[in-house]
Structure 1
Amino acid sequence: MQKLDWIVLSVTLLFIVAYGVYKTKGSKNVEDYILGNKETNWWTVGLSVMATQASAITFLSTPGQAYHDGMGFVQFYFGLPIAMVVICLTFIPIYNKLKVFTAYEYLEQRFDLKTRTIASLLFMVQRGLGTGLTIYAPSIILSTLLGWNLTMLNIIIGVLVIIYTYSGGTKAVNVTQKQQMFVIMSGMIITFFLILHLLPNEMTVSNALHIAGANEKMNIVDFSFDPETRYTFWSGIAGGFFLSLAYFGTDQSQVGRYLSGKSDKESQMGLIMNGFLKVPMQFFILLIGVMVFVFFQFNDVPLNFNPVNKETIEKSVYADQYHKLENQLKLLNEEKKEYNLIYIDHLNQNYDNPILRNRLVALSGKERELRDQAKELITKADAKAETNDKDYVFLYFILHYLPKGLIGLLLAVILSAAMSSSASGLTALASTTAIDIYRRNLKTQKSDKHYVDATKYFTLLWGIIAILFACVGTLFENLIQLVNIVGSIFYGTVLGIFLVGFYIKYIKATAIFYSAVASQLLIFYIYYLDVVSFLWLNFIGAMLTIVLSLISQFIINQRNSNRIIEV
């Protein structure tokens, strides 16, 4: 990184933190600190909801996901717009009518304290893990590629978030997320057009899409019914719908965003805005990854994007074998470039040459074989090495091919996204701990200032916990998938509790509590068996909770009836 990159990065991040503290310092009551005094307009609600979901993982992993697997990941979001409509019609009016600070307050009014508590605890477990991951994800990749200290990066990101979140609560999160979304989208749009500029002069956008299509990167929709296929139209509509319904409808990190809206209408418009823009935004981010793939059809590409793996191999007895693979890849890259240029020339003459397309597919197949052989060597050199390099693709491109200044901006994008999602997580964890656990179990009544101070201290505590988790975290197959897997394991059960509460008045507290416990244990077991794509866990968890609670309530009613008859 050059001096200009450091200036751009530092000024951007410090401005966001200082602005958040300046605009929101001095909350005097709980409603102001947790709900932003319910003064948020619809477009701020919408941007805040989007920024909360768009973590650094989104901008690190999603382009790498598209680079390797194409556009199919966008199907994951197909159920989101439908979920937004359901939440607007059902969840928001109920929450606002009951004047709750957190989503879980509703559960005690509908069921009992133990149901409220189990939902709160399930949320805190998964959101605590998720918040630590949103700090850890950018840290480990930036530390690997830039040589920065991982622990120090975790602490820096965590402390920056804690400063303005501790100071201003929900209002601070809302005002800073507007700035963060501006930085994020500006950086991504500039990057997209720069990639197009870096492609060969004779290439058009249409040519680039044809090359991507020839390499099966533009297969957007899969209508197959194979439950083991991770991303299909059906898993996106069903599993994605239930995950979105649970995340936006019951996760306090999102519920807190629209509970701060001025009215039902403002909150609803903010969510509808998110429903309209989220799928196109994810499509665009995936398309950037596809364009990076096209770019590397004309430029040198490493065997593995993770530089740690390269260092591991160089120190091992497999270095010579790895070098041979690198030489083969270099020759293959030259051949790919030659055939792609010929293919472009034919496309410019309105002829999509099928022979050339097949040749490009064959060359991509050879490249995958070389990469697989490289992964085998890396594993032999270090059995614990993470050979999957999807999370490193986009940052490798940024650091090696973007001009001065823009590198700093893109790193600011990644860190801003980490801060925005982490800040929402901390405020949600703090408000849930303060309201659902601490205040609810206090024997004596305290002042508003006491609860504001308590929420601030819980913000600090959860911030430290998130930093500690980030410092001991480990990399997974793909970070964007890990976040969704963690959510899918827990969200289904919590969503089932809320759906029963909203729509099935027949079911009472005892039935729903024990059904939720059983459902969560079964979901752990199903995930352990690995028999279905993780997206289906949301649907299965919700359905298990509903069905088991119906059966449990029927059994309870039958027992009660028998006792009455005996008496």
Structure 2
Amino acid sequence: METLDWIILQVTLVSIVVYGVWKTRGSKSVDDYVLGGNDAKWWTIGLSVMATQASAITFLSTPGQAFHDGMGFVQFYFGLPLAMIVICMVFIPIYKNLKVFTAYELLEKRFDLKTRTLTAILFLIQRGLAAGITIFAPSIILSAVLGWDLRTLNIIIGVLVIIYTVSGGTKAVSVTQKQQMFVILLGMFFTFFFILGSLPSDISFSEALKIAGANEKLNILNFDFDTKNRYTFWSGITGGFFLALSYFGTDQSQVQRYLSGKSIRESQLGLIFNGLLKIPLQFFILLVGVMVFVFYQYNSSPINFNPAATEAIENSEFKEDFVILENEHNAILREKRMVKNDFSTALNLKDYDAIEQARLEMVSLNEKEEQNRQAARVLIEKADPVIETNDKDYVFIHFILNNLPKGLIGLLLAVILSAAMSSTASELNALGTITALDLYKRNVKKDLTQKHYVNASKAFTLLWGIIAILIACVANLFDNLIQLVNIIGSIFYGNVLGIFLLAFFIKFVKGNAVFIAAIFTQVIVIIGWYQDWMSYLWLNAFGCSLVILIAILIEGFDRMMKGVQEN
């Protein structure tokens, strides 16, 4: 990194923190600190909701996901617009009319305190883990690529977020996320157009798409009914719907964003804004990853993008075997360039037989390349079993550091760290609020002053910030980071969503039945995930349906037994 990159990175991050503290200083009431004074406009809500979901993991992992597996991951978001409609019609009016500070406050009004407490604890477990991962994700990758100390990075990101989140609460999170989203979108657009400009002069954008399509990177829709297939149209429209409905409808890190709205209409418009833009945004981020793939069809790429893995091999007995694989990899890349030229020539001549022949050759070479990469992963694992061999999360950052011009590198690193800060800030804000209001206020200290609960919220936010940093310092990479966050969410979200749907729509079910059903459901879902009964996305629908069914059965059995006793 050059001096210009360091200046851009530091100025961007420090400016966001200082602006957040200055803009939101002086919160004196719970309403100001937790709900931001209820004066947020729809565009602030929409950007804040989007920034909360778009963590650093999104901008590190998603392009790498597209590089290796193509655009199919976008199906994960197909259920989101439908979820936004349901939340706007059902959840927001109920929350706003009841004037709740947290989503779980509603559960005490409908059921009882123990159900509210249990659901809040489920949220704290999964969101606390996720907060640590959103810090850890950019830290471990930047540490491996730049040589920075991992724990120091975890602490820097965590402390920056803690400063303005503790200081200003919900409003600080919302106002800084607007700036963070601007930086994020600016950086991604610059990167996209830089890639297009870096392709050979005779390769247009449309031809780049044809090359990506010929390499099976543009296969967006998969209508397979196999529930173990992670990304299909059906898993997105059902499992993705339940995940989005639970995340945006019951997760306090999102609910707190739109509870700060000036009115029901402002909150609804903010979520509709997110629903309309989220899929195009994810499509664009995946497309950037596909363009990185096209870029590396004409430029050299490492056999494994994780520099720590390469270093481990260099210092092991498997070095010579790895060099052989690298030479084979480079030979395949040279063959691929020749086939790409044949493909481009055939496209220009509209020779369809030649186009198909070149396409089949590209597919065959891609299979050879993947086999070679897999053989390299096996060697890396033998050299050091601790090193992460799956390099999806390293593809984009490798491209940034090795190909972007001065200044743009600093901007893209600012994108990654800004995204980490925005999502972590929302999570810490929500964790502190839930701990203070749903656990501390209702179970420990009741009926104290507004100032006391504001201070308690700040203290718990600080505590969760420290916990998140500690989790980040002991975390390990897992397949693909964006999948890890969604897996953690899917284990808990279905159960929580089912509890809320029982509260909204099934009036005869009471608190005891829901409480018992929620405990049984969580145990079964964890077992189902561990035993790999189904793809993690389906766990959302499974958990939601299961808790509803068990609660209805328990309530029905309880009523039947009471009827027998009365007779």
TM superposition score category, shorter chain reference: over 0.9
Query: SS in structure 1 opposite 2:227?
Result: coil
Paired residue type of 2:500: F
Matched, 1:244 2:247: no
Measure how far apart 1:193 and its partner are: 0.5
Deviates more, 1:553-562 or 1:434-443: 434-443
Paired residue type of 1:455: S
Query: SS in structure 1 opposite 2:536?
Result: coil
Query: Which structure 2 residues correspond to residues 10-409 of structure 1 after superposition, within 5 A?
Result: 10-352=10-352, 353-409=355-411
Aligned match of 1:484? 486
Measure how far apart 1:443 and its partner are: 4.9
Q: Counterparts of 2:45 and 2:119 in 1: how far apart (Å)?
A: 24
Aligned match of 1:441? 443
Query: SS in structure 2 opposite 1:272?
Result: helix
Paired residue type of 2:119: A
Q: Counterparts of 2:464 and 2:317 in 1: how far apart (Å)?
A: 45
Paired residue type of 1:304: N
Paired residue type of 1:362: S
Measure how far apart 1:341 and its partner are: 1.8
Deviates more, 1:74-83 or 1:440-449: 440-449
Measure how far apart 1:384 and its partner are: 2.8
Measure how far apart 1:327 and its partner are: 0.8
1:155-194 per-residue CA deviation (whole Å, 9 max, x = no partner) reads: 0000000011011000000000000000000000110010
Query: SS in structure 2 opposite 1:506?
Result: coil
Measure how far apart 1:444 and its partner are: 4.6
Change (3 A) 1:443 1:355: closer
Measure how far apart 1:379 and its partner are: 1.5
Measure how far apart 1:369 and its partner are: 1.1
Paired residue type of 1:188: M
What runs of 5+ residues in structure 2 fail to find an aligned partner?
none
Paired residue type of 1:69: D
Q: Counterparts of 2:469 and 2:544 in 1: how far apart (Å)?
A: 31
1:520-552 per-residue CA deviation (whole Å, 9 max, x = no partner) reads: 000011001112100000000000000001101
Q: Counterparts of 1:349 and 1:254 in 2: how far apart (Å)?
A: 53
Q: Counterparts of 2:331 and 2:463 in 1: how far apart (Å)?
A: 54
1:341-394 per-residue CA deviation (whole Å, 9 max, x = no partner) reads: 221122233445101111111111110111111111111212233210000000
Aligned match of 2:504? 502
**TM-score under structure 1 normalisation?**
0.99
Paired residue type of 2:271: L
Q: Counterparts of 1:11 and 1:349 in 2: how far apart (Å)?
A: 51
What is the CA RMSD across the aligned residues, in angstroms?
Answer: 0.8
Q: Counterparts of 2:351 and 2:312 in 1: how far apart (Å)?
A: 46
Query: SS in structure 2 opposite 1:197?
Result: helix
1:251-304 per-residue CA deviation (whole Å, 9 max, x = no partner) reads: 000000000000000000000000000000000000000000010000001010
Query: Which structure 2 residues correspond to residues 505-544 of structure 1 after superposition, within 5 A?
Result: 505-544=507-546
Aligned match of 1:459? 461
Query: SS in structure 2 opposite 1:310?
Result: helix
Query: SS in structure 2 opposite 1:222?
Result: coil
Matched, 1:563 2:565: yes
**TM-score under structure 2 normalisation?**
0.99
Q: Counterparts of 2:452 and 2:510 in 1: how far apart (Å)?
A: 34
Matched, 1:411 2:427: no
Measure how far apart 1:330 and its partner are: 1.0
Q: How many percent of aligned residue pairs carry the same amino acid?
A: 62
Paired residue type of 1:491: Y
Q: Counterparts of 1:350 and 1:165 in 2: how far apart (Å)?
A: 58
Query: SS in structure 1 opposite 2:34?
Result: helix
Deviates more, 1:262-271 or 1:441-450: 441-450
Paired residue type of 1:4: L
Matched, 1:429 2:427: no
Paired residue type of 2:187: G
Query: SS in structure 2 opposite 1:296?
Result: helix
What runs of 5+ residues in structure 1 fail to find an aligned partner?
none
Paired residue type of 2:358: L
Paired residue type of 1:290: V
Paired residue type of 1:279: I
Paired residue type of 2:216: E
